[in-house]
Structure 1
Amino acid sequence: MDTEHNALKDHILRSLQEMGFTIDEEGRLHAPIEENKDFLRQLHLPARQMELQTHQIWLQRVWPRVAAFFAEGTEVIPEKIKPVLIEVESTWQQNLFRVARLLWSLPFSKGYGRRLRFLVMDKSNGKLIGILALQSPPLSFPARDRRFRYPPGRKTELVNQTMDIQTLGAVPPYSRLLGGKLIALAAASNEVREAYRRKYAYRTTEIEKRLLPSHLVALTTTSAFGRSSLYNRLKYRDMWIAEPLGYTEGYGSFHLMMFYPLFRSLLESQGISTRGGFGTGPRRKWQTMVRALARLNLPGDLLRHGIKREAFLFPLIDNLQDYMEGRTFTPLYRDLPFETLVRWWRERWLLPRAERVNGWHTWSREELKPLLLLDPATGEIQ
C-alpha cells in the first residue's frame, strides 16, 4: 500500500477515535458505553457540515425568501393553530422543504426510489409546522422481516407496497409544542395514502419492470437516536399508530459518510466506477464503502457502529399481517382523515403542552440562521 493510502487509512482511524469510538485489535468499533443524544449528534456533525457547505450559496440566496415561513414564538397561538397537509409540488414548496430539512441533525438526503414529500403548515398564520418525507423501503430490513412470513416469491412485491419514513419532524417553535407528534400522526392519514395512489397508480418498478398495485399498506421507520420518544406510545385513541419492532442490528454507514468522497476518489483512481444514476442509493454507497475499506486493508467491521436504533411499523390497514403473509389480497384500510388526527393531537398533546411550558413563546426565527448559514470566517456551523 502506498504512502497516500496509508495516510488515508490513518486519517479514517484517527477520525473515528476523535468521534468517540474505540477500535479493538480485531478492527471492531465500540461506541461509548453510555451513549447519549449529544454523542450521536456529534457523530453526524461532520457529514452535516459537509452538506451545509455544499448548499451554502443556495442557502444564502433562498433564506431571505423562505425565512418568513418560519414562525416567531409570538406568532403562534396554540388555540388557533390550524394544520393543513400539503404535498410538495411547486418550487417554493420544494425550497421550503429543503431548507427545513437542512435544520436536522442528520445529514440531508434526497431519498431514493419512490418518494413523497409533505409540508404541514399552520393556516392560522401561514407558518411551517413540520415536514414529512417517504421513500422506497429497503428490501432487507430485519426488524420488519422478523414480523412477517412472506409467501414464497412475493416478498419484493409485498414490501414494495410499503414505504419508509425518511424524514419526519416539526420545526421550532412548533417542535416545542409536540408538533412532531402531529407529523407522525399525519404519516398514517388517509391523505398520505391517497397521494401515493395518485402518484404511483399503474407505475412499474424500475428494476423488475413489474406493475405493482397502488396500495400503500404500511410504513416503517427507525429512530434517529436510540430509543424514540417521538414514536413510543403513539396512538390514536386505542389504536396503535406506531408499533415497536425492536432495534436495528447496529450496522450502517452514517459514521463513515464524511469519508465517502474520499472512498469514491480512491476507487475511481483504480478504474472502479462509482458513477451515479439509478441504483445510487444506500446499497450503492454501502458497496462503495465496502470496496474502499478492503483496498485500504481496513476491516469491514468498521461498518458495524454498534449504535442500535429503535424500529417502528405504521400499519395502514387492519389486516396487515394477513395481507403481508398472503392470506388475503384485499387490504382493509384504516379510516384516519387528517382533520380527525389533528383534533386528537390538539386535545391529547398540543393544549396540555402549551399549558405546561412557555419557552416556545420567546422563540425567534433568527435562531435558525446560525444552524444553516456557516460562519464565513471558519466555514463551520456557528
Structure 2
Amino acid sequence: MSVSRARLRARVLEHLRSLGFEVDAGSRGLLTLRAPEGKDALRRLHAEARRFILRGHQEWIRWAWPRLSPYFARGEQIIPERIRPVLVEVVEPWQADLFRLARLTWSLPYSKGYGRRLRFLILDAGNRAPSGHPFLIGILALQSPPLSFPPRDRRFRYPPGRKVELVNQTMDIQTLGAVPPYSDLLGGKLVALAAASNEVRRAYQRKYGGRRTEIEGRILPAHLVALTTTSAFGRSSLYNRLQYRGEPIAISLGYTEGYGTFHLEVLYPLFREFLEAHGVSTKGGYGVGPRIKWQTCVRALERLGLPRSLLRHALRREAFLFPLIHNLEDYMEGRAAEPLYRDLPFEDLAAYWRERWLLPRAGRVNGWHAWEPERLLDLLIVDVKPTKEVANAAILG
C-alpha cells in the first residue's frame, strides 16, 4: 500500500514538533523551522534517529555481546601506567564486529560511511582481560570527503578544474572517540592524534594506491594530504587546541551552516516508499552516501508541499582540518607538485598523550574506577529500560 500524501505530510510536521522544533507559518503561509536550543536539546534530536537505527541491530547485538564483551574493560581492571596503545587497521571479521559494537554505543546514529573507507581500533596491549583479550580504547573511521564542504572550501583557492582531484586526496573523519573507562582518561585525545599518524596515511596508500575512481575511472595519486571532520554538538572540546609538541594537529575552520537530514532519519524509509510509488527513483551512484539522502528528502518534501528549509536543523557543528603535510595550502592551491609529509609515528603520539593527558588525568579524577561495561547494554538495547540483570538476560537470550 502506497504512503498517503496527506498522512505523510502531517507525519512530517508531527515528527518535527515531537523533537522540539517549532514549525510556524509565516505571513504568506510559508513554513519555517525553529530549532530547540542547548546541547541537551540537540542530543535529544539525535536520540530518536539513533533508537530508530538501533532497532535494526538488536538481533545482531544479542549475538555479538557475549563474544565481544571481554574487550570492554572494567575501571578496576585498568592501571593507567600500564596502558600501551596499539593502532590496528580493521581487516578481520572479528575486528569489524568489535568496531560495529563499539560504534553502536555512540550518541550519534550509526552509519557505515560511504565511498573510500578505512577503520581502526586502538587497543590496550598493557591491560588485558582474564581471557587475555586486550581492552578496546577507541575507534577511528575515515570515509570519502564531501565534494562540497564550505568550511574547507573557503580556506583554499583550488586551481581551475582540479578541485575534485585535490579534494579526493583528503578524507573525512566519520567516527572518532574512546569507550569507557578510557574516555574518562581522555582517550579521545589519543584517537584524535592517531588520525594524523603515519600509520593511517600509509594504510590509505596501501589500500587505494593505483585504484581507479568509480565515477570517472581515473587513477588518483595515492596521497592522503589532509582530513576534515565536524564536532558532534557545537564547539568541540576534543579538537580545540589539539597539538603535538607545539604543532597543531587540528585547525578550526569555523562552523557549518546547520543543514542536514539526521532529524528526518526516522521518516527516510517512508520518503523512499512515497517517491518510488510516484515513479521517482531513490537510487544513487553509490546508494549509501549523504547526497542521495539529501536529494531524496528534498524531492519528498517538495512533493508533499513542504519547503526544503525544513532540512535546516540549525545544529551548527565546528569544522576542523587535520593537515598531514607541511605544505598543505601550497599543494591544494597548485603551487606545490609534491606533498611534504609530516612525520608523526603513532608510537610517538601515544607517548606524548600518555605524559600530556593520560597520567595527569588519572591522578585528578576517580570516577572511572567504578565503570562497569554492562552499563553499555543500556545504550545498546532499545524499547526497554533494563536493569543490569534484565539487560544481561535479554542480550544472552
Q: Does 1:11 align with 2:15?
A: no
Alignment of 1:252-263 (within 5 A): 252-263=260-271
Partner of 1:341: 349
Amino acid at match of 2:105: L
2:235 is equivalent to residue 227 of structure 1: yes
Q: Note the alpha carbon deviations across 1:15-73, whole angstroms, 9 max, x for none.
A: 211211112223221112x322x211111112111111101111101110000100010
The CA distance in 1 between the partners of 2:175 and 2:156, in whole Å, is 25
Q: State which of 287, 290, 306 in structure 1 corresponds to 2:295.
A: 287
CA deviations 1:250-272 (Å, max 9, x no partner) are: 11111111110110010111122
Instruction: Tell me if structure 2 keeps the 8 A contact 1:60–1:373.
Output: no
* Contact 1:28 1:304 (8 Å CA) reproduced: no
Calculate percent identity across the aligned residue pairs. Answer: 67
Name the SS for the 1:250 alignment partner: coil
Cα distance in 2 for partners of 1:206, 1:44 equals: 32
What is the rounded CA distance, in whole Å, between the counterparts of 1:370 and 1:306 in structure 2?
A: 29
1:375–1:28: structure 2 CA closer, same or farther, 3 Å change rule?
Answer: closer
Q: Could you list the runs of 5+ residues in structure 2 that have no partner in the other structure?
A: 129-133, 392-397
Q: How many Å separate the matches in 1 of 2:173 and 2:112?
A: 12
1:275 deviates by: 3.6
Residue 60 of structure 2 is matched in structure 1 by 58
Find the aligned partners of 1:369 and 1:337 in 2 and give their Cα distance: 35
Partner AA of 1:109 in structure 2: S
1:44-123 alignment runs, 5 A limit: 44-123=46-125
Structure 1 segment 1-382 matched on structure 2, within 5 A: 4-25=4-25, 26-32=30-36, 34-36=37-39, 38-124=40-126, 125=128, 126-275=134-283, 278-375=286-383
Maintained 8 Å contact 1:142/1:248: yes
Determine if contact 2:113/2:288 at 8 Å carries over to the other structure: no
SS at match of 2:4: helix
Contact 2:173-2:228 at 8 Å conserved across structures: yes
SS at match of 1:23: strand
Task: Summarize deviations over 1:137-161 as a string: whole Å, max 9, x none.
Answer: 0000000000000000000000000
Q: Which moved more, 1:273-282 or 1:10-19?
A: 273-282
Distance 1:355 1:130 in 2: 21
SS at structure 2 position matched to 1:147: coil
On the 8 A contact 2:226/2:325 being kept in 1, the answer is: yes
Does 263-272 or 323-332 show the bigger shift? 263-272
Listed one character per residue, the Cα deviations across residues 317-347 of structure 1 (whole Å, up to 9, x for unaligned) are 0000000000011100000000100011011
SS at match of 1:205: coil
* TM-score, normalised with respect to structure 2: 0.92
Q: 1:305 Cα deviation (Å)? A: 1.3
How far, CA to CA, are the matches of 1:3 and 1:187 in structure 2?
Answer: 44
Q: Which amino acid aligns with 1:72?
A: R
CA contact (8 A) 2:171 2:226 kept: yes
1:344-380 deviation line (CA, Å, top 9, x unaligned): 10111111110110100000011111111235699xx
Question: Are the counterparts in 1 of residues 24 and 31 from structure 2 also a CA contact under 8 Å?
Answer: yes
Alpha carbons 2:3, 2:270 under 8 Å: kept: no
Rounded Cα–Cα distance in structure 1 between residues aligned with 2:383 and 2:267:
23
The root-mean-square deviation of aligned C-alpha atoms, in Å, is: 1.5
Q: How far did residue 82 of structure 1 move? A: 0.3
1:369–1:320: structure 2 CA closer, same or farther, 3 Å change rule? Answer: same
Q: Counterpart of 2:143 in structure 1: which amino acid?
A: Q
1:198-242 CA-partner distances (Å, limit 9, x unpaired): 000001111111110000000000001111111011000110000
Offset, 1:197: 0.4
Answer with 2-11 or 163-172: which moved more.
2-11
d(CA) in 1 for partners of 2:206 and 2:3?
55
**Which amino acid in 2 is paired with 1:8?**
L
Return the alpha-carbon distance in structure 1 between the equivalents of residues 341 and 229 of structure 2: 20
Q: Aligned partners of 2:68 and 2:255: how far apart in 1?
A: 37
Q: How many Å separate the matches in 1 of 2:302 and 2:44?
A: 26
- The unaligned stretches of length 5 or more in structure 1 are none
Q: Structure 1 runs of 4+ off > 4 angstroms?
A: 375-378
Q: Counterparts of 2:33 and 2:201 in 1: how far apart (Å)?
A: 40
The C-alpha deviation readout for 1:97-149, integer Å capped at 9, x for no partner, is 00000001111111011000000000012100000000000000000000000
